[in-house]
Amino acid sequence: MTFQDLLAYQKSFALAMKIFRVSKSFPKEETYSLTDQIRRSSRSVSANIAEAYRKRDYPKHFHSKLTDSDAENSETQVWLEYSIACEYITNETYTELLNDSKEVGKLINYMILNPKKFGVKEDKS
């Protein structure tokens, strides 16, 4: 199994790509603010999941990287709120992306609560 096989990784990667496509239509004046921020945070979710999986020999590192991923997912939700408030996305798009993000959050939480299912060894400290 590779990190690409993890459902949390697959869903978070797909969400980041949806956000990338949607954010292409954001105004030019948002290029170095909202557009950059939402793309960075959404991409960081899957990157941190990948890092967590590679750190599974170290339970504390696994947990830490997943909590980083969860935090980035929450940050993405904040940027989605700004996107709808600034009228850069429709209510339908906002709802779809937010629901996808919530699903990713549940999958990350599952990994945090069930580390042994992902090959994490028992912490002996």
In this predicted model, what pLDDT tens digit does every residue of 95-122 receive, in sequence order? 999 999 999 999 999 999 999 999 998 7
Residue 77 scores a pLDDT above 80: yes
The domain ranges of the chain are: 3-114
Task: State the DSSP string of the chain.
Answer: --GGG-HHHHHHHHHHHHHHHHHTTS-GGGIIIIIHHHHHHHHHHHHHHHHHHHTTTSHHHHHHHHHHHHHHHHHHHHHHHHHHHTTSS-HHHHHHHHHHHHHHHHHHHHHHH-GGGGTPPPP--
Residue 27 scores a pLDDT above 80: yes
With cut-offs at 50, 70 and 90, classify the pLDDT of residue 16: very high
Task: Looking at the structure, give the CATH architecture of the domain made up of residues 3-114.
Answer: Up-down Bundle (1.20)
Whether this model's pTM surpasses 0.85? yes
Residue 8 scores a pLDDT above 70: yes
